Amino acid sequence: MKDVLSPEHFNLTLVNWASKYGRHDLPWQQHPTPYSVHVSEIMLQQTQVTTVIEYFKRWMSAFPNLLALANADEDEVMSHWQGLGYYSRARNLQKAARYLVDEFSGHYPRTLKQIEQIPGVGRYTAGAIVSFAYNERGPIVDGNVRRLFCRYFAIEGVPSTTEVNNKLWQYAEHYTLAKNCRAYAQSLLDMGAMICTPKSPDCPNCPINDSCQAYQTDRVAQLPTPKPKKHTPTKIGQFLWIEQNNQLYLQKRPAPGIWAGLWCLPQLDTEQIREVAPSQRKGTFKHVFSHYKLDAEVLNANSTEQLSGQFFSPKQIVSLGLPTPIRKFIGKHLANTK
DNA sequence: TAAACGTGGAC
DNA sequence: TGTCCAAGTTT
C-alpha cells in the first residue's frame, strides 16, 4: 500500500487540483478582508454555503465594516440574522465588533492567539481568518477537514472525542505549511465539499486517492466513525396571542436560551403550562430543533399584566428579528405581516 | 465531557 | 417522512 504524501507534496497536489476544480466565485472570496472573512466564517458555521450567500450580501450592505456593526442597534443586527439559526453567533459577532473597536482601535490583530480571543471565534475560525484574510499560516479543522483526514489517514474513532480531535489537529498542524496558505485552506474545504463528501464520495476523481489510506483498504464508507445518535425529546410549548387594534404583543427572548435576542409571542414557562379549552386556542404549530421537537399551541389572551413586552404594528413586525416558526404563524394569522 | 444552540438542503 | 448533517463555539 502506498504511504501518505509528505506535507509538501500534499499541499501542492491539493492546491493544483483546486486551481482547476475548486470554487472561486463565492461572494466572500472576491475581496477578502479580515472583517468580511470573519462575517462569512461565522455565518458558515453549521450552515450550508447556499443558505449563507444571500445573508452575507445583505449583512455586508447593512454593516459594511467593523464600526458600522459596533454602532448598530441590536434589533437591527438580529433582524439581519433571522432565519439563519444559532443566534448567539449574531450577538457574538456584534460583541466581537465592539471588542475590536475598544481593544484594538477597530483593527484586527494578526496572530492566531489574539484572534482566538475574539468572542465567538474558536480554533477553526481563527485559523480560517488568518488563512483567508492574511494568506498566512492558519491550520483549520472543520467538518470537511475532519472527513478528509479521517479517510486519508484512516483515523478510527468518533471524531468529537478528545483523543481523535487532538489527532486531527496534530495532522492539521503538521500538514499546514507557510506557503499557499489561502489556496491550501480553500482546497481542503473544496475537497471536502466536492470530492470527499459524506455520502457517495467521488473517489475516482480524487487527486490523492492512490495514497488515501481508507480508499486503499476499502474503508471510505466506514470513515469517519459515525457518532452514536441519541433520542430527541418532544417538548410542549404554550404561547400567548394578545392582539389590540391590529397590534400584536411581543417579548424579547432572554439570553441564554433558545431564540435569545429575538422577538416572540409570550411563552408560558413550564410551571404555567395548563390545559385549555379548544375555544381559547388561536392555533398550533410544530417545530424541529437540533436537540428536541416542539409541539406548540397559541392561546388567545387579553391582559398583558405581569408581562414585559410591547405591542407592534404589522409594519414594525416585518422588520423585527423573529424565530422562523413564530414568523410563519404570525404571517398566517395577522394581516400584512407576510 | 456533553449538552445547548436553528434551520433547511439532500436523499 | 425520517435521517443526516452543514466552513463550530460556548458553557
Residue nearest to nucleotide B5 (CA to C1'): A86
Residue A35: inside a domain, yes or no? Answer: yes
Structural element, H or E, at residue A111:
none
Could you check: is the Cβ of residue A48 within 7 Å of any atom of nucleic acid strand C? Answer: yes
- Cβ atoms of residues A53 and A26 within 8 Å: yes
Using the structure, give the distance in angstroms from the CA atom of A198 to the C1' atom of B3, rounded to a whole number: 24
A80 within a domain of the structure (yes/no): yes
Can you give the pLDDT at residue A229?
Answer: 85
Q: What is the pLDDT of residue A270?
A: 84
Q: How far is the CA of A159 from the C1' of B2 (A)?
A: 14
Structurally, how many domains does chain A consist of?
A: 2
Assign residue A73 the CATH number of its domain: 1.10.340.30
Distance A47 CA to B8 C1' (A): 9
Per-residue b/e over A141-158, b at no fewer than 16 CB within 10 Å? bbbbbbbbbbbbbbbeee
Q: Is the CB of A44 under 7 A from strand C?
A: yes
Whether residues A266 and A316 share a domain: the answer is yes
A41 is catalytic: yes
What is the spatial distance between Cα A335 and Cα A331, in angstroms, rounded to a whole number? 7
Q: Are residues A89 and A27 in the same domain?
A: yes
What residues approach strand B to within 7 A at the CB?
A: A 46-48, 50-51, 83-88, 161-162, 199, 230, 256-260, 287-291, 323-325
Neighbours of A103 (CB within 10 A): 12
- Which residue lies nearest B7, CA-to-C1' measured? A85
Q: Active-site residue among A41, A136, A271, A275?
A: A41
Whether residues A255 and A111 share a domain: the answer is no
Distance separating alpha carbons of residues A158 and A173, to the nearest angstrom = 20
Strand B nucleotides where any atom sits below 7 Å of a protein CB: 1-11
On whether residue A278 sits in a domain, the answer given is yes
What nucleotides of chain C have any atom within 7 angstroms of a protein Cβ? 3-11
Which residues form the domain of A128?
A: 7-211
**pLDDT mean values, one per 10 residues, chain A (338 residues):** 96 98 98 98 98 98 98 98 98 98 98 98 98 98 97 96 96 98 98 97 97 97 92 95 97 97 96 86 96 96 94 98 98 92
> What's the whole-model pTM score?
0.97
Distance A269 CA to C11 C1' (A): 22
Name the grid cell of A304.
398583558
- Domain contains A246: yes
Q: Collapsing DSSP states into helix, strand and coil, what is residue A25?
A: coil
Q: How far is CA A277 from CA A274, A294, A301, in A?
A: 10, 20, 13
A1 in a structural domain: no
pLDDT of residue A230: 85
SS3 content of chain A, % helix, strand, coil (to 5): 45, 10, 40
Q: Which residue has its C-alpha nearest to nucleotide C10's C1'? A: A120
pLDDT of the residue at A277 = 86
Is A217 among the domain residues? no
Residues A206 and A309 in one domain: no
Q: Give the CATH number, domain containing residue A279.
A: 3.90.79.10
SS3 A65: coil
- Cβ partners under 8 Å of residue A65, min gap 6: A35
The C-alpha cell that represents A65 in the structure block:
465594516
Quick check: A123 CB within 7 A of strand C? yes
Cα-based distances in Å from A206 to A113, A143, A195, A238: 34, 18, 6, 51
The distance (Å) linking the CA of A1 with the C1' of C5 is 32
**What pLDDT does residue A26 have?**
98
Closest amino acid to nucleotide B11 (CA–C1')? A199
Nucleotide C7 C1' to residue A230 CA (A): 25
Nearest-5° Cα angle at A153, A180 to A37: 35
d(CA A189, CA A152): 14
**Nucleic strand C within 7 A of Cβ A126:** yes
